[in-house]
Amino acid sequence: MNINLLEIFQYGFMVRAILAGLIIGSIAPLIGTFLVAKKYALIADTLAHVSLVGVAIGLFIGINPLYTALAVAMLVAVIIEKLRTDQQLSGETALAIFLSGGLATAIVLLSLSRGFNVDIFSYLFGSIATVNSVDLWLMLLLGVVVAATVVIFYQQLFYIAFDEETAASSGIDVKKLNLLLLLLTAIVVGMAIRVVGALLIGALMVIPVVTASKIAKSFKTALFLSIVISLVSVITGLIVAFYLNLPAGGTIVIVSLLFFGLTLLFKSP
């Protein structure tokens, strides 16, 4: 079978898909690195499930579901952090409640609005080929905001990721930074729904980070390496999905899993 690798660039929807993938592939592990260090990786899956409520609301009232998904994810991020800091619920308990509750609420809302069709499946598992120019510009804008925020607050985020007590004693406002990290996570989740889907975004934020941590000897090296692994996974996954007619979101995650498996296989004990 003769495959022309340049053929993919002849289609506008695939060019937009690749650009969207590059944005998400850069930003997802950037935030995921801090979440994994804090042992708070489940927050990505929780906010992703909750964002489906926003998708359902958007489909029901007839506006872009990405906007409502982003708004709902950020709102719930604030609620989760308030419950945790006020010690009304432990972090893990709050995440478990919102993870299952968010999915259940989304299913009910979609059923009431008769929206459980091909549209919702594109948000569940991703439909990167449907990314339009407006989505792309929104992703770029939010991606720049997230990246710039991480650069500005990198040192503080690094401290709270490994030792909140010491960070607090040194004058760092731990509560505000934890909230900031969750809001950034919510933004990434909202951005990535179109690319890999709500059910898979957690994997893209975590798997490249865990893979990089198996190789890297420092946090900063792991951060940069996780971005590289994520970008290679996204581009490879898109190319494979295009030529083999496979779902892009699932293919991207499988490629990232292969990288993780190779790391375990070849890394010397």
246 vs 251: CA distance, rounded Å: 7
Residue of 156, 126, 165 lying closest to 17 (CA atoms):
126
User: What is the domain partition of the chain in residue ranges?
Assistant: 11-201
72-96 mean pLDDT: 77
CATH 1.10.3470.10 fits 11-201, yes or no: yes
Q: Per mean pLDDT, which range of 49-58, 101-110, 151-160, 254-263 is the poorest?
A: 101-110
pLDDT digits (tens, 9 = 90+) for 104-156: 887 777 777 665 555 566 666 667 667 778 878 888 898 899 999 999 999 99
DSSP of 16-72, one letter per residue? HHHHHHHHHHHHHHHHHHHHHHTT-THHHHHHHHHHHHHHHHHHHHTS-HHHHHHHH
Type of residue numbered 208: P
* Mean of the per-residue pLDDT values of the chain: 81
* Residue with more model confidence, 193 or 253: 253
Q: Per mean pLDDT, which range of 75-84, 90-99, 130-139 is the poorest?
A: 90-99
pLDDT digits (tens, 9 = 90+) for 45-54: 888 888 888 8
